[in-house]
């Protein structure tokens, strides 16, 4: 079982360009999340989706958009990248079991120049 | 506002015991998590506490006091592979996880 996969592993992007970070899970989890992780700060929630067809804004949604056309895929799009979006991005999904464990993808390291 | 506090860095000796503390102030509480994150890798689940008390899982134990807004992660018989960051997170009233910045644990031989 692959769990959660993310692509690309890393990317250097010119400011002003757009980019989509891909996230796919094969665990049939309903809820999925996008976080960014920056040095000295905790994981910060960008957007989430409780189930296919629905999305919501997290703590730091500006400059990002998401879609959830089906259960497995949850892409994150940067419409016009800025240097402050340089970060490591993690996608996660929730098992829905009694402990609400979140499973994380391997992350995408994005550098915006 | 919502806040999770944990020490930035701790150092311990191989074979010893270390306790990593976490205090929280959140809007609602639906459980507290500890995750381990090795450098350059994704966080992985360690423990979940929703009721007061101690949960033991092998060399790792996690304690929760809801009245004090306090938790700790206890690591026994430390091994070099335990060198990692340990993240405390609280599930708030909206069932969103609020994350601490993490505690970097350095294990010395």
Kindly list the residues from chain B whose CB atom is less than 8 angstroms away from the CB atom of residue A47: none
In this complex, the residue of A102, A103, A106 whose CB is nearest that of residue B97 is A102
Q: Are A14 and A85 in contact (CB under 8 A)?
A: no
Hey, are the CB atoms on A42 and B45 less than 8 Å from each other?
Answer: no
Kindly list the residues from chain B whose CB atom is less than 8 angstroms away from the CB atom of residue A2: none
- CB within 8 A of B12, min separation 6: which ones? B18, B75, B78, B105, B106, B107, B108
How far apart CA B7 and CA B102 sit, in angstroms, is 7
> What is the residue-averaged pLDDT of chain A?
94
Sequence-ordered alpha helix ranges (H) in chain A = none
Q: For A25-56, what is each residue's pLDDT tens digit?
A: 999 999 999 999 998 888 999 999 999 999 99
Mutation target for A interface from B25, B38, B42: give the one with most A CBs within 10 A.
Answer: B42
Hey, are the CB atoms on B96 and A58 less than 8 Å from each other?
Answer: yes
Q: Are A38 and A87 in contact (CB under 8 A)?
A: yes
Kindly list the residues from chain B whose CB atom is less than 8 angstroms away from the CB atom of residue A44: 99
Kindly list the residues from chain B whose CB atom is less than 8 angstroms away from the CB atom of residue A100: 30-31, 33, 48, 91, 95
Q: For A56-77, what is each residue's pLDDT tens digit?
A: 999 999 999 999 999 999 999 9
Assigned token pair, A33: 């999340």
How far apart CA A9 and CA A107 sit, in angstroms, is 7
Burial of B11 (0-12, 13-18, 19+ CB in 10 A): exposed
pLDDT above 90 covers a percentage of chain B that reads 92
How far apart CA A40 and CA B1 sit, in angstroms, is 18
Mutation target for B interface from A104, A106, A107, A109: give the one with most B CBs within 10 A.
Answer: A104
Per-residue DSSP letter, A27: S
Does the structure show a pLDDT above 80 at A99?
no
Residue A12: helix, strand or coil by DSSP?
strand
> Residue A98's pLDDT is what?
67
> Residue A1's pLDDT is what?
59
Does the structure show a pLDDT above 70 at B85?
yes
Q: Which residue has the tokens 């998590």?
A: B33
């Amino acid at each position: 079982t692959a769990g959660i996969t993310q692509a690309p592993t890393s990317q250097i992007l010119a400011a002003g360009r757009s980019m989509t970070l891909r996230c796919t899970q094969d665990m049939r989890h309903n809820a999925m999340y996008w976080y960014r992780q920056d040095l000295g700060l905790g994981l910060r929630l960008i957007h989430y989706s409780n189930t296919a067809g629905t999305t919501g804004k997290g703590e730091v949604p500006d400059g990002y958009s998401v879609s959830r056309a089906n259960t497995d895929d949850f892409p994150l799009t940067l419409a016009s990248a800025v240097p402050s979006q340089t970060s490591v991005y993690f996608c996660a999904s929730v098992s829905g079991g009694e402990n609400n464990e979140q499973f994380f993808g391997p992350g995408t390291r994005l550098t915006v120049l | 506002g919502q806040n999770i506090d944990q020490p930035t860095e701790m150092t311990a000796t191989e074979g010893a015991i270390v306790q990593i503390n976490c205090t929280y102030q959140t809007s609602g509480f639906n459980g507290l998590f500890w995750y381990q994150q090795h450098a350059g890798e994704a966080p992985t689940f360690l423990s979940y506490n929703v009721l007061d008390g101690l949960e033991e899982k092998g060399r790792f134990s996690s304690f929760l006091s809801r009245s004090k807004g306090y938790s700790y992660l206890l690591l026994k018989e430390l091994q070099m592979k335990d060198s990692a960051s340990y993240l405390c997170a609280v599930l708030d009233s909206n069932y969103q996880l609020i994350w601490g910045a993490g505690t970097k644990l350095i294990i010395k031989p």
